[in-house]
Amino acid sequence: MNREGLLSTEDQQPAVAGTRHYNAAFPLEMVVVVLAAHDPIDRFWDWQGQSIRYWQLGDRGAPVLLVHGFGACCEHWRQNVEAIAQHSTVYVIDLLGFGQSAKPDPIAVNYGIELWAQQIEAFRQAVIGQPTRLIANSIGCVVALQAAVDQPEGYAALLLIDCALRQIDDKKLAQQPLGRRLGRPLLKAAVRQRGLSNWLYRQLAKPSIIERILKLAYPSSERIDPALVEALYAATQSPGAAGVFWAFINLFDAPLAEQLLPQVQAPVTFFWGDRDPWEPIALGRQLADFPSVKAFVPLAGLGHCPHDEAPKQVNPQIVAWLQEGVAAAG
């Protein structure tokens, strides 16, 4: 039986330094997100001719790499990096196609789990230079699992927060209601049309819509600040972003967590918000049955991105996980 646990901490609202206004013309490079005390410095690394943005903070302990989910970026970890950096050297990366990383056209680049896992492993080798622990959210969890399968000796442990279950994947089509099964060919034909995809993207890539989506993901709605909305919005306005969206919504056959977990050698821990509207915790618990999973931690009252929704509650649990790994290694 896998361990379940939840540390009880008091959530608090951090101080917010100033406010910002949304501006489509505001240069992406100049987007500044207010952090707690020490702002990580934007750094850029060249990978296969593409510019990859990352953060590095702290200089103590074993390294840890943070991997965001779909449509997110380094700023999604803005409330976690300082706490983690007290115990580890922390790296945060923008996956290719997101944030301030390059967004090449999908005609030239095969966006998907495998590509992003290759990016993570190349970054680990070139920048980190030693085995690392991975902390990931949403689709980033599947990327982390793929990286750990591809290069087992490169990853010491994985902490996966509300892992994407990809219910829309073709391999799960038989589990869907009859109407969805019958409608799948029509759905695929529609989303393959880049004109339609571009129109849909323009409807979604607005500050008001981004804020509305965040309110769905964050049931408490208390952690949705203008800085996060602006960072996510700014990334949607950079050249190539609409093409990445088109590529992602056409991912109907990609690796699944259920396929990767049996192959993972590193210990895996899941954190899961019990009010996640997109990845139900009841389905998430099924992943805890795999031998590589050492703990499944429900997070009461939290949604799809609990690390950002309630950092004062989740950061101590992340730190506890880091310390458990150090103790086990010792």
Residue 81 lies in a domain: yes
Q: Dig out the tokens for 140 from the structure.
A: 């980033």
| 57 within a domain of the structure (yes/no) | yes
Residue 30 pLDDT grade (very low, low, confident, very high; cuts 50, 70, 90):
very low
Domain of residue 132 covers 35-329
Supply the pLDDT for residue 157.
98
* Average pLDDT of span 310-325: 94
Q: What is the band of 12 on the pLDDT scale with cuts at 50, 70, 90?
A: very low
In tens, the pLDDT along 259-275 reads: 999 999 999 999 999 99
Mean per-residue pLDDT of the chain:
87
Tell me if 159 sits within 8 A of 66, measured CB to CB: no
Question: DSSP H helical segments within 218-310, as ranges?
Answer: 226-236, 241-249, 257-260, 281-284, 306-309
Determine what percent of the chain is predicted with pLDDT higher than 70.
Answer: 86
Specify if 20 maps to a domain. Answer: no
Q: What is the pLDDT of residue 10?
A: 33
Whether the predicted pLDDT of 152 surpasses 90: yes
What would the pLDDT profile of 184-218 be if each residue is shown by its tens digit? 888 889 989 999 999 999 999 999 999 999 999 99
Output the pLDDT for position 27: 37
**Domain-embedded: residue 13:** no
Instruction: Name the residue type at position 327.
Output: A
CATH number of the domain residue 166 falls in: 3.40.50.1820
β-bridge mates for residue 213, sequence order: none
- Residue pointed to by tokens 């050698």: 265
In a domain, 87, yes or no: yes
Residue 10 lies in a domain: no
**Beta strands across the sheet bearing 63-67:** 43-47, 50-57, 89-93, 63-67, 132-138, 155-163, 268-273, 293-299
Give the confidence band of 330 by pLDDT, cuts at 50, 70, 90: low
* pLDDT for 72: 95
How far apart, in whole angstroms, are the C-alpha atoms of residue 166 and residue 320? 29
Report the C-alpha gap between 242 and 52 in whole angstroms. Answer: 18
Classify residue 30: in a domain, yes or no. no
State the total domains in the chain: 1
pLDDT, one tens digit per residue, over 213-247 is 999 999 987 667 888 899 999 999 999 999 999 99
pTM above 0.75, yes or no: yes
Region 68-83: what's the mean pLDDT?
96
pLDDT in tens, 86-137: 999 999 999 999 999 999 999 999 999 999 999 999 999 999 999 999 999 9
Assigned domain for 106 exists? yes
Pair type for strands 89-93 and 155-163: unpaired
Task: Report residue 205: phi and psi, to 5°.
Answer: -85, 60
* Phi then psi dihedrals of residue 293, to 5 deg: -85, 120
Indicate whether 4 pLDDT > 80.
no
